[in-house]
Amino acid sequence: MRPIQSHLLSRRHLLQLSGLSSMGLLLGGCGLNAFEGIVGKTFEPLNQSVEALLLNPQKPVPEFPASAIEPEALLINTFGSTPQLDPEKFRLTVDGEVNNPLQLSMADIKKMPLTSMIIRHVCVEGWAAIVQWNGVQLRDLVALVQPKANVRYVYFKSADGYSESWDLASALHPQTLMAYQKNSQPLSADNGAPIRLASPIKLGYKQSKWVTRITLVSNLLTSRGYWEDRGYEWFAGL
């Protein structure tokens, strides 16, 4: 029997047909001139609403068989120098507008239920790779800290100074992981060890490596992320 998704319009195709491609919602990712920047910021709330409506926050993305994994296809993009974090001393801080802020060691994180997924990682530069990620669902970490009712966004801070922000619904998607294994092996330093974001519903630049802090907030801050502050689309959904 033919899979249901094969004869339905994909989200990306629907956006393209409607003139609202995920990289073209007035927020192109290749730098903006002054006029484009003003227009982009004016319409950004509308763009976010359109993309959020097209993203079912609980619907799993179809995964791939183990035979489809491309071990060498995931390219290494670095923001600066590669952090070398000691996994024994590492602590992941989860805080913000929450009732129970936490600092978790990797031992604490590895006691939580392990989730494995084989998904396509898509880079804004035009390449993609099928990768297996293993880790904990971000929504499990969020549940531990008991976010306040008005929380809508999640910020991620990385050891190399990189920053990102997500909408809460995407962060709570069942396939959004804080991954500590790639292809069933411990993450290498280049791939974000000891822990990184991984998800099939966002472009690669949203998937922060070397994450040290997760902060839940009710409003977006002045800075929305390293690349977003330079003109890249904020929602960046697939």
From 14-18, 41-45, 54-58, 152-156, the region with the lowest mean pLDDT: 14-18
Q: Is residue 5 part of a domain?
A: no
Q: Is residue 51 part of a domain?
A: no
Residue 148, token pair as written in the block = 């306040």
The residue among 12 and 219 whose pLDDT is bigger is 219
Number of domains in the chain: 1
Give mean pLDDT, residues 210-222: 96
Residue 80, token pair as written in the block = 């600066």
Enclosing domain of residue 168: 63-230
Q: Is residue 36 part of a domain?
A: no
Rounded CA gap, 21 and 42, in Å? 18
Q: Is residue 38 part of a domain?
A: no
From 1-15, 50-64, 121-135, 155-169, the region with the lowest mean pLDDT: 1-15
How much is the pLDDT for 22? 38
Q: For a pLDDT cut of 70, what percent of the chain falls above it?
A: 74
The residue among 55 and 60 whose pLDDT is bigger is 60
Q: Which residue is listed with tokens 């306040």? A: 148
CATH of the domain at 198: 3.90.420.10
pLDDT tens string 62-111: 999 999 999 888 887 666 689 999 999 999 999 999 999 999 999 999 99
* Cα 101 → chain centroid: 21
Q: Is residue 81 part of a domain?
A: yes
Q: What is the mean pLDDT of the chain?
A: 81
Other CB atoms within 10 Å distance of the CB of residue 165:
20
pLDDT tens string 176-211: 999 999 999 999 999 999 999 999 999 999 999 999
Q: Looking at the predicted structure, is the pLDDT value of residue 42 above 80? A: no
Q: Is residue 7 part of a domain?
A: no
Q: Which of 138, 153, 147 is nearest to 217 (CA)?
A: 153
The torsion angles phi and psi of 191, rounded to 5 degrees, stand at: -95, 5
How much is the pLDDT for 55? 56
Q: Looking at the predicted structure, is the pLDDT value of residue 173 above 50? A: yes
pLDDT tens string 140-167: 999 999 999 999 999 999 999 999 999 9
Rounded CA gap, 5 and 15, in Å? 16
- Banded pLDDT at 138 (limits 50, 70, 90): very high
Residue type, 81: S
The residue among 33 and 63 whose pLDDT is bigger is 63
The residue among 58 and 85 whose pLDDT is bigger is 85
Give mean pLDDT, residues 215-230: 95
Q: Is residue 183 part of a domain?
A: yes
Q: Is residue 95 part of a domain?
A: yes
How much is the pLDDT for 81? 82
Residue type, 153: Y
Q: For a pLDDT cut of 90, what percent of the chain falls above it?
A: 68
